[in-house]
Structure 1
């Protein structure tokens, strides 16, 4: 691409991931051992064989179709192009007449995207130009070789096939077993699918039950389809002792796009190794000072991504360019080009496609205590009491796999947890909750109700021969429910009903682990690719499996409450759209400083692709942290969205009070800071749910023209107003934080010291230090009466921290509802206030006049930072009645404290400084 763009931020790239507890490289394929990837990488840039057949162009109001032909083998493809509302373009490429349907990803898009009109500006024998709306944006289709360019003015934003690397392996019959006929099995599968695909375009359905002569798929003037020679791995391949049969042959595809200079950062777990683990979000985001854009590759098969950059020098006439090759094993090309131009625009565009972050109950944003495993009910009770005795708040205690009867999920070990409802009731009496693990591998045991019902309903994934697929996981020999089947998902959801899940109560929530799916004795520690989900192979749907598990579980928790209560479900595996169903954690990390440090860019990356509810196991899952590392991890975790301590079965116990009183005090303070900020966290998640904007953000999101922010990944923003720089180095005596924003000011939230923006600031630290800064011009709401759980604080008063800009202005928001139900949506029962300070006047204004909700919370204190001493302070309530407010002013810190204005948090009011 010839885009003139300056320096780019590291882009987000979260992709094909498998499951593993400990990284063993020999268990995972390289591209050379994955034959489809190897075949595609062997294709070199050059003359593309694809030509656009302009005489096949059809244009409706919102959709363009155009046939492409591969000049080498005469196979035709169908290109579909849509202009979508919100400055997006969708490009789909499929075989024009495949022997059978190719998999198209369902259930990820929240709706059919709304389209806008397309119109042809010019057309000749060499190509055509389309208007994409407005006077500036054009889409140029070049005929031979085929190429797409999206331009704005004179700038090329994105190009497709500019280097001739588009490749699409078509379905064909295997020469050594079938001459020109497709097997009757494929034919019957096509018959069963015909109704499913009845809404597809007729050009995709012009097939006679899969029995046509292959040569007739080409137009007569093109000549017959020329079948290429089979290459190694086209029809079967081996990895270690595992055989992968490929009844459809090679079905891989490659899509090449270019745009301006970028760097890449992948979601990974072994540090600085791009080997895949756990989840997949096929989104690429690029950013430079002039523009932010994104590409969403909607394909659930194994995918490799190659990125190469040409960085133009200052004196070079050549534009900076990045080439990106997406290589997927199966499916179709279905690409959404999100054209920004601002970072916030890309987030909005992606959210319009895959949805926003689910709005969690407030308690889920508080502190979670977990380990593999708490031994029994008495252990749970003792840990619960330990938090009270050491005055450390927490909301959730977690139970891992050992709480079950022999790893039979939806059950309890009767000797260790004989009365689970008594245990849950004891927690409920303290307004606390519990999470129990429910994994999607089911013990094959004729005495196990869950297994028997799944088998009787024929809901298990099948092996290639049609029997139930079985693999090895925690229970031993296990079956794997087919979560791609909506009937299976509905049944799974029903199992969370209180009369089905014996011993469960309304304060029990769920954790889905091992849902990649994890198969200990499977290839690459997961399911065989030729396993069958109905008519589709696992290779087609692998990355959807974890999303479906979490969806079915979340639906179950909603249904058990009659649709009233918001669920909380944590998942390890995820895909695009998983944000709609709960939280994600970064998996099995280790008690090492490097793992603490990398938790920041990992969660930042997830937030940029919609998954704001992210966190890492505090303290590290494997190994045993030093006291210093544990403290620093608590301090960092307290300022990340999902805040949970977790540890491996074989590690020493590490509850916060087991490292001595000094360490306990440091951990207590970190957790208390989290609880004080819960009102801010809750408001940020409400906005993420409404708008798709990430909660935890890289600095460049708010300062897109500041190139210094582009490579920073050891500090971040919460919303736009809090800057956090955790201490992540052993023995650190100080950190250097970059405070962005020329002409802005930042205030240390602990000392109120004022610092100018657009500078790197060295901050001396001690073991108690958590460097956090509030942006001048913002208002942050806190609750400073810390109790044993967030539920105990629901009606407590608020303290407002008003940090003034250099111009004496500040604003913020306060959001309140019942903190746990869907009534904020269904009944409009919530409070949403806009807080603003200007001209020495602080006011609260209603942002939701049609909502109906009351709160017992009131404004206890107002802290104004960066102002001057007034002669008097007056409160004016909604009725216009004025009263004096007590205040103190610290001339050293320039902090004005207003005490007990006493106004209800949901009311209109004004404070005047005179």
Structure 2
């Protein structure tokens, strides 16, 4: 427990006489109750930093207070293995992000109760995009490992685990931006589309950064759903089908598919399949290009070593790219990377996703500004 709690006497009387050190002030519990979890996380963070000064501390908390993002990641507590609880994941993640805590997640499948194969799959279809991602259940509860309900469900879960690792360059870039700017990774649509009143009450769709819209299934026995697409061009992530936005559409959502759409004008950096971070280098990096109505797209790729504090002193690499439609080709311009981090020899692959006739172009990452032409 990292919050004041008493399972026997819930009036709080047993805690009235508690005195906290409080930087030498010896304050009563009345002053410190709300910041208890924040200060506990801070103490843990600072202790880890002293113990391993060359590494980034990693702390997980359930309770928190304003400013928790400085010290800890956060999960949403001991949730129930129910559809109602699953549906709450989206508004909880998005509102935590709006409150300043971007590194959030839940117990995939729920912590209390009994999930089934369908509920577990749909839970993974939200959780695989959350910064904090784990299947976690009470030790005396029912098993809910990915293989628990048979090969059919296991194979679908494996599909999304693989996709998470492929999307790590995109997710890491977006999370670094959250760290630097305060704008969360996991967003309500209204944050990106503040002039669109249709997004104000949507709590069953979400955005990952600026570019990826997701509409999960949060009720049982559904194989389709309505999805609102804001103004602009959108592409179905799975089929590359193009949609005009500013409208509601109905899409198929069989159990193996969570509806996902990429904003026209986006470039999604992706890595190779892997079973864990560090299994292999991120080589190649594939830039999946989704042009807008003018044939333009842009993105940034952020990289660092993932462990040390070197990123605080230019030990990072930030590469920007722009794509423009010129005659019968797309021209990709990459900037000279910012920062001193060296990822090693590798290839960049560029592909115009919505065009079946477009060539995929692969070039060596030479760490310099350059232009690449993709003809069709």
TM-score of the pair, normalised by structure 1: 0.39
The answer for the alignment partner of 2:144 in structure 1 is 654
Q: Secondary structure at the match of 2:40?
A: helix
The answer for the alignment partner of 2:315 in structure 1 is 829
Give the deviation of 1:903 after TM superposition: 1.7
The answer for the alignment partner of 1:533 in structure 2 is 20
The answer for the alignment partner of 2:184 in structure 1 is 694
Deviations 1:92-142 (A, max 9, x none): xxxxxxxxxxxxxxxxxxxxxxxxxxxxxxxxxxxxxxxxxxxxxxxxxxx
Give the deviation of 1:858 after TM superposition: 2.7
The answer for the alignment partner of 1:898 in structure 2 is 360
Structure 2: distance between partners of 1:685 and 1:698? 15
Matched, 1:748 2:236: yes
Give the deviation of 1:525 after TM superposition: 6.6
The answer for the alignment partner of 1:757 in structure 2 is 245
Distance 1:842 1:527, change over 3 A: farther
Match of 2:8 among 521, 546, 551: 521
Matched, 1:557 2:48: yes
Q: Is the 1:530–1:539 Cα contact (8 Å) retained in structure 2? A: no
Structure 2: distance between partners of 1:859 and 1:600? 36
Match of 2:124 among 634, 637, 645: 634
Q: Is the 2:337–2:368 Cα contact (8 Å) retained in structure 1? A: no
Q: Secondary structure at the match of 1:628?
A: helix
Structure 1: distance between partners of 2:301 and 2:279? 19
Distance 1:857 1:690, change over 3 A: farther
Moved over 4 A (4+): 524-527
Structure 1: distance between partners of 2:13 and 2:353? 54
The answer for the alignment partner of 1:775 in structure 2 is 263
TM-score of the pair, normalised by structure 2: 0.93
The answer for the alignment partner of 1:244 in structure 2 is none
Structure 2: distance between partners of 1:596 and 1:608? 20
Q: Secondary structure at the match of 1:736?
A: strand
Q: Is the 2:81–2:110 Cα contact (8 Å) retained in structure 1? A: yes
Structure 2: distance between partners of 1:524 and 1:761? 50
The answer for the alignment partner of 2:341 in structure 1 is 853
Matched, 1:728 2:218: yes
Question: Where do residues 417-456 of structure 1 align in structure 2 (5 Å cutoff)?
Answer: none
The answer for the alignment partner of 2:302 in structure 1 is 815
The answer for the alignment partner of 1:864 in structure 2 is 352
Structure 2: distance between partners of 1:590 and 1:860? 43
Structure 1: distance between partners of 2:11 and 2:252? 46
Matched, 1:543 2:34: yes
Give the deviation of 1:636 after TM superposition: 1.3
Distance 1:525 1:749, change over 3 A: farther
Structure 2: distance between partners of 1:524 and 1:863? 61
Matched, 1:801 2:288: yes
Give the deviation of 1:653 after TM superposition: 1.9
Computing the radius of gyration from Cα coordinates, the structure with the larger value is 1
Q: Secondary structure at the match of 2:120?
A: helix
Distance 1:660 1:567, change over 3 A: same
Q: Is the 1:519–1:525 Cα contact (8 Å) retained in structure 2? A: yes
Q: Is the 1:613–1:642 Cα contact (8 Å) retained in structure 2? A: yes
Structure 1: distance between partners of 2:225 and 2:12? 40
Structure 1: distance between partners of 2:91 and 2:305? 33
Give the deviation of 1:860 after TM superposition: 4.5
Q: Is the 2:360–2:374 Cα contact (8 Å) retained in structure 1? A: no
Matched, 1:907 2:368: yes
Q: Is the 2:348–2:365 Cα contact (8 Å) retained in structure 1? A: no
Matched, 1:715 2:205: yes
Deviations 1:283-325 (A, max 9, x none): xxxxxxxxxxxxxxxxxxxxxxxxxxxxxxxxxxxxxxxxxxx
Q: Secondary structure at the match of 2:286?
A: strand
Structure 1: distance between partners of 2:177 and 2:91? 22
Give the deviation of 1:702 after TM superposition: 1.2
Count of aligned pairs between the two proteins: 367
Give the deviation of 1:835 after TM superposition: 1.2
Question: Where do residues 172-251 of structure 1 align in structure 2 (5 Å cutoff)?
Answer: none
Distance 1:795 1:866, change over 3 A: closer
Q: Secondary structure at the match of 1:523?
A: coil
Structure 2: distance between partners of 1:581 and 1:729? 35
Give the deviation of 1:808 after TM superposition: 0.5
Structure 2: distance between partners of 1:603 and 1:572? 13
Structure 1: distance between partners of 2:130 and 2:233? 23
Q: Is the 1:797–1:857 Cα contact (8 Å) retained in structure 2? A: no
The answer for the alignment partner of 1:838 in structure 2 is 324
Distance 1:552 1:762, change over 3 A: same
Structure 1 residue ranges without an equivalent (≥5): 1-513, 868-889
Q: Secondary structure at the match of 2:33?
A: helix
Q: Is the 1:597–1:714 Cα contact (8 Å) retained in structure 2? A: yes
Give the deviation of 1:857 after TM superposition: 5.2
Give the deviation of 1:825 after TM superposition: 0.6
Distance 1:648 1:754, change over 3 A: same
The answer for the alignment partner of 1:588 in structure 2 is 78
Give the deviation of 1:700 after TM superposition: 1.1
Distance 1:902 1:652, change over 3 A: same
Structure 2: distance between partners of 1:624 and 1:905? 52
